Amino acid sequence: MVRKRRTELPTAAGGESSGSAQDAPGGSGSGGGRGSQPPAAATGGNGSGGGRGSQPPVAATQQGAAGMGFQGGRGWGPQSQQGGRGGGYSGGRGPPQRGGMTSQQQQFTVPTEHHGRSRGGPPPQQHPAAAAAYEPGSRSRGRGGGGRGGEQPVSHGGPPSKPSSSDLHQATQESYAAGGTPHHVPSEASSSRPPAESLTQQLQKVSIQQEGSPSQAIQPVAPSSKSMRFPLRPGKGVTGRKCIVKANHFFAELPDKDLHQYDVSIHPEVTSRGVNRAVMEQLVKLYRESHLGKRLPAYDGRKSLYTAGPLPFISKEFKIILADEDDGTGAPRRDRDFKVVIKLAARADLHHLGMFLQGRQADAPQEALQVLDIVLRELPTTRYCPVGRSFYSPALGRRQPLGEGLESWRGFYQSIRPTQMGLSLNIDMSSTAFIEPLPVIDFVTQLLNRDVSTRPLSDADRVKIKKALRGVKVEVTHRGNMRRKYRISGLTSQATRELTFPVDDRGTMKSVVEYFYETYGFVIQHSQWPCLQVGNQQRPNYLPMEVCKIVEGQRYSKRLNERQITALLKVTCQRPHERELDIMQTVHHNAYHEDPYAKEFGIKISEKLASVEARILPAPWLKYHDTGREKDCLPQVGQWNMMNKKMVNGGTVNNWICINFSRGVQENIARTFCHELAQMCHISGMAFNPEPVLPVYTARPDQVERVLKTRFHDAMTRLQPQGKELDLLIVILPDNNGSLYGDLKRICETDLGLVSQCCLHKHVYKMSKQYLANVALKINVKVGGRNTVLVDAISRRIPLVSDVPTIIFGADVTHPHPGEDSSPSIAAVVASQDWPEITKYAGLVCAQAHRQELIQDLFKTWQDPVRGTVAGGMIKELLISFRRATGQKPQRIIFYRDGVSEGQFYQVLLYELDAIRKACASLEPNYQPPVTFVVVQKRHHTRLFANNHHDRNAVDKSGNILPGTVVDSKICHPTEFDFYLCSHAGIQGTSRPAHYHVLWDENKFTADGLQSLTNNLCYTYARCTRSVSIVPPAYYAHLAAFRARFYMEPETSDSGSMTSGAAAGRGMGAGAGAGAGSGGRSTRVSAANAAVRPLPALKENVKRVMFYC
C-alpha cells in the first residue's frame, strides 16, 4: 500500500461502505426523536458508585448518600427514554434503575434553565461533527522512528514526554462497587487526590504497583527513563477455534557483538543525506584498512555512526575530497573539501535488549533497536530509493503510469521489531507514486491533459503547474554532458520572452532569450511560457522549461486524485497467496546472509515466514425486530443480509422532501426512486410516509445554498403550524459533483439542522434492491433508529459492559493532506448513547492546530464574565448526553483511540487520560469511573496468511484468513497487552488485521474479554450488513472527522486571498469548535490553537444522531 496515504476507501478496502459510497451521514444519539426533553427531577443521589477509593476533598460539604449527585446543576438530567418505534425484543430499555442502582441513587439536580447546557459555557452545539472514512492521504502517520518513548517533542507542547519514574496507578476493580457507597481501599492502592489534579502531578506521588508475577520480576529502572508502565498482558486468550497462520515476520537472531556509537560531524554542514553518505562512503573506502581497524561501520546519514566493536581511537579528524560532476565543458572539475570528525559517543547495550525480549525488563531499549535497524538498512539504501522505512526501485517490479506525469514504483517495507519470539524483521510489499523523469514540457502537457502549445496558460493552469513542480529537482539538458541539477522554487509571472536580468554590476539588462542564444547557441521555442525559477527567492535563476528534465527517483508526496488512487490501488492490490510469494521472493532477493553489514554486526535473518498460533472467534448472534420473519441471525463468514428481517428499532420519517441536482435524472425517475426508497424503508421496519411534504424539485448545482434554504423554508411553512419538523432531505447528485456534496452537508448540518441522504445518479437509475436496503440502513440511524443489536448485549452477557452502565468512546484525528501546510487538523470523538445495547453513537468534532495529534478539546476551561472559570469539552458533553439518553451515569469508560503511532503512545495517553479524568471530576467531586484506553492501529505492515491457501475451511472467498482471527502470541509485544484482530471478511487484496494495544486498563479486562468485545462490536456497524475491519466507534470517529473537513472555510487560492466571498461571514458559531475559550488551560497548546478558526457549530438535533453515517 501507499505509505502515509489513506488509500483504503471503505468501498475498496472491504466493502464497508454501503452502496452509496458518496454519502456518509447517519443517525443516532439520544433515544430517538427530536422532541423536547423535560428537565429531570432532582434529589441528591450517591453519584459515583465508587469514587476511586479516595476521600472527597475536605472543602466539599459532607455529602452522604443524598448529597453526592453531579452537583451544581451541571446538566446531568435524566431524559425521558424516546426510543424509535418500540424495541422488538423483550426487556427493551426498561426503567433506569436496572443498572444495579436504585432510582433514588440515580437522580441528579438539574436547574431547568441550564438544561441541555453544560453548566453555562458554550452551548453544546459547539463541536460540529465530521467524517473521516479512509481518506486518501488524510493522515501522515507512519510508525515514526524513535519508537515508543516520546523521544521526539510533540508539536505544540502538551505533556512532558518523559514522565517521572513512578508508575501511573491503575485503579483496582474492587474500588468500584456497582452502586452503593465507595469502597475505601487501603491508601497504597489508591491515589487520593483532588479530582482535577493532572496526571502529570499525580505521577510524582503515586506508589509503584508491581503487576508482574515474581517469576517475571521487572527490573527497577533508572529514574530518568520512561517507566510509566503500560499494562502487562493478562495472560493469553483461549476462546475460539485454534489454527495456525503465517505472518510476514522473519526471526532475527540477536547478535552478541559489542556495539559502539560514534558522533559524526561534517564541515561544511550539508542538509542532504545523500552528500553525507557520499562523504562517509569515501572515508570508509580510503581509511577502513588503515584507520578504522578494518571495521565496516553503519551510518544513519546524519550524525551517528555505529560499529561492531571499538575503533582504534576515541576521536579523529579526516579530510575528504568529493569530486563534483563533470560539467561537460572540458574544464577541470571542481572539488569539494570536507572535514569529518568521528568521536566516541556511547556503547549501545544489547544485554538490555535481550532482557526486554525475555520480559525481564520493562522498557524497550530504543537505541539498540535503532542500531540494528540502521545496520539492516545500509545495503538497501545504496541499492534503492529509500522513503521512510521503505525502499523503492524500478528494478523491483515494473513501473505503472498513474496519469498527470506520475508513475508507481514497487518496493518493500522493512522494520526490525521486538516481539515475543525475539527480534523479528517485518517485511511487506509496497508501492508509491514517483514523478516520471520526463522533460518538463512533457510533464506539463500530461499534467494539464492537453496540447499546451495551442493556447496560452490560464491563471488556474499556472497555479496547478506551480503546485506540482515546487520543490522538484530538474537537470538541464542544453549543456552537453554537464547535467547540473536544480530545485524548482516557483514560476515566473512573465513569459520567457519578457524576462530580463542584470548581467553586470552596472545594471546592464539582457533578455533570457538572447542570453541562451548567445551563450549556448540555444533557440528557445516556447517563449510564450513562463520560466522555472530555481535557487532562492532573493537571487532567483531563470530556466526555460524546455531545457529542463525531471531527475529520476523523486517520490511524489502531495495528494493524489481519485483516478491516480484507483490506478495505484490496482497495482498494490494482490491476493494473499501472491503477496506471500512476493514477500518470500523479496527476502530471498535481499540475501541477508550475504549482506556485508549484517555479517559484520552478526545479525542472522531467517528466510521463513513466522508460523503463529491463532484463534477464530465466533461471530455474535444479532437481534432483529420480533415482527420480522427472522428475529435473530448468526452471520456467516463476516456477512449477512436484511432479507426477512426488520430493524430492531425502526425510526420514523413522517415529513421529508427530495431535491434533484442531477440534470440527467428526469422528474418521473426521481419520483419513482423516492417511492421505491420509501417502500424499502417501510419493509425494513421504519415508519416512512410514502408522500413528500413538497413535490420533488430539480435544481442547478451552483444554486445549492439558495435552493436548500428556500425548499427548507417552504416545507417548514407547511409543517410549523401543525407543530411538526422536517425529518429528512433526500438528495440526488451527479456522479461527479465536485464540492456540491460537501457544501450540502455543511449547510444542512450546521445551518438548517437537517439530516440528509445523498444518492448518486448512477444508483438512482439502477435502483437495485441491495442498494436501496443499504441506504435504508443509513437513513434509519440518521433519524435515531437502531438497525440491530447484539443478543448478548440485551441479555446482559457481555463481561465488563453489561454489569454496570458503560460508555464506549471512539476518537480520531485526521490531518490535512501532505502539501497543505497550514490547514488545521480535525479531531472527532464519538460515544455510545445507549446501554446496555451500545449501538448508537453521538459525535462531536473540532478543528485544532495543524498536524497536532493530541485532542485539544477533550477537556477545556474558560473564563466566563459572570460565573468565573467554566469547564467543558467533548468528553463532558458526551457524558452528559449519555446520562440524558439512558437516565444513568457511566460507571465504566472504554476509550478506543485511533491513529496513534508508537512514538506517541506516552504523550497521547498522558494528555488524553488526564483530560478524561478532569472531565469526570468537573461533573461531580470524586466521580472517576475506571478507564480502559486502547489504541487502534491500521497503519502497520503485519499481514497474516492462511497456513494452507487451499484449505477451504481456513480461508474466505477472497483467499484471506477468516473474520474473527485473533493473534496475541509470538509476533506481539514481549510483555504488554496487545493483539492483532482480523474482524472482517476480505473482498479484494490482502486483509490488514487491526492492531489493538492497551495503554491503560483500570477495568482489568482479560485477553478473551477485550478480544471478544472488540470482535463482537465489529458486527454492529450501522452502514452495512458485514463485520468491519476496525471497531465501529473508531470507524465512526473517522467518518465524523472526515465530514467536518467539509465544514471548513473554502480553501484559499495560491496567492493567499479567499476564493469565496461568502467565507468570511460563515460560522463563528457561539463558542464553536476548538479555539473558543481554550485560553483557560495552562499548557502551551492553547497558544498554538488560538489561531485555528473554529468550525461552524453543529445543530443540536443533528449531533444527537449518527449524521456522519
Over the chain, what is the mean pLDDT? 80
Count the residues in the chain. 1109
Cα distance between residue 682 and residue 370, in whole Å? 60
Cα distance between residue 581 and residue 945, in whole Å? 11
Rounded to an integer, the average pLDDT of 156-166 is 41
The whole-number pLDDT of residue 1048 equals: 87
In this prediction, residue 1021 has a pLDDT band, given cuts at 50, 70 and 90, of: very high
Contact predicate 1052/1058, CB 8 Å:
yes
Q: Tens of pLDDT along 543-576?
A: 999 999 999 999 998 889 999 999 999 999 999 9
Q: Tens of pLDDT along 230-242?
A: 999 999 999 999 9
Angle separating helix axes 769-782 and 667-683, nearest 10 degrees: 70
Q: What pTM was computed for the model?
A: 0.78
The whole-number pLDDT of residue 672 equals: 96
| In the predicted structure, residue 55 carries a pLDDT above the cut 90 | no
| In the predicted structure, residue 1067 carries a pLDDT above the cut 60 | no
Rounded to an integer, the average pLDDT of 67-79 is 44
Q: For residue 382, how many other CB atoms are within 10 A of its CB?
A: 11
Q: Tens of pLDDT along 77-134?
A: 444 444 444 444 443 443 333 334 433 334 343 333 333 333 333 333 333 333 333 3
Q: Tens of pLDDT along 764-785?
A: 999 999 999 999 999 999 999 9
In this prediction, residue 537 has a pLDDT band, given cuts at 50, 70 and 90, of: confident
Cα distance between residue 685 and residue 1011, in whole Å? 32
Number of H helices, E strands in the chain: 22, 41
Cα distance between residue 746 and residue 680, in whole Å? 27
| In the predicted structure, residue 1082 carries a pLDDT above the cut 60 | no
Q: Please, which residues have CB within 8 angstroms of residue 268's CB and are 6 or more apart in sequence?
A: 338
Q: Please, which residues have CB within 8 angstroms of residue 1094's CB and are 6 or more apart in sequence?
A: 846, 847, 1067, 1068, 1069, 1071, 1072, 1073, 1074, 1075, 1076
In this prediction, residue 364 has a pLDDT band, given cuts at 50, 70 and 90, of: confident
The whole-number pLDDT of residue 1105 equals: 94
Burial class (CB in 10 A: 0-12, 13-18, 19+), 518: exposed
Q: For residue 581, how many other CB atoms are within 10 A of its CB?
A: 12
Cα distance between residue 398 and residue 571, in whole Å? 10
| In the predicted structure, residue 23 carries a pLDDT above the cut 70 | no
Q: Please, which residues have CB within 8 angstroms of residue 212's CB and are 6 or more apart in sequence?
A: 218, 232
CA nearest to 210, candidates 202, 199, 201, 219: 219
Rounded to an integer, the average pLDDT of 1056-1071 is 32
Cα distance between residue 816 and residue 103, in whole Å? 47
Which grid coordinates are listed for 360?
525481564
The whole-number pLDDT of residue 248 equals: 98
DSSP E strands in 892-941: the ranges are 892-898, 931-937
* Residue 334, SS3 per DSSP: coil
Rounded to an integer, the average pLDDT of 1010-1027 is 97
Burial class (CB in 10 A: 0-12, 13-18, 19+), 901: buried
**Residue 649: strand pairing partners:** 786
| In the predicted structure, residue 16 carries a pLDDT above the cut 90 | no
| In the predicted structure, residue 168 carries a pLDDT above the cut 50 | no
Rounded to an integer, the average pLDDT of 675-695 is 97
Cα distance between residue 303 and residue 266, in whole Å? 8
Which grid coordinates are listed for 891?
460507571
Which residue stretches of 268-399 are H helix? 273-287, 350-357, 366-383
Cα distance between residue 311 and residue 308, in whole Å? 9
In this prediction, residue 1050 has a pLDDT band, given cuts at 50, 70 and 90, of: low
In this prediction, residue 76 has a pLDDT band, given cuts at 50, 70 and 90, of: low
% pLDDT > 70, the chain: 75
Rounded to an integer, the average pLDDT of 995-1016 is 98
Candidate from 357-361, 629-633, 1014-1018, 1105-1109 with smallest mean pLDDT:
357-361
CA atoms within 13 A on the CB side of 992: 23
Q: Tens of pLDDT along 259-310?
A: 999 999 999 998 888 899 999 999 999 999 999 999 999 999 999 999 999 9
DSSP at 12: T
Q: Tens of pLDDT along 596-624?
A: 999 999 999 999 999 999 999 999 999 99
Q: Tens of pLDDT along 444-457?
A: 999 998 877 777 78
In this prediction, residue 189 has a pLDDT band, given cuts at 50, 70 and 90, of: very low
Rounded to an integer, the average pLDDT of 841-846 is 96
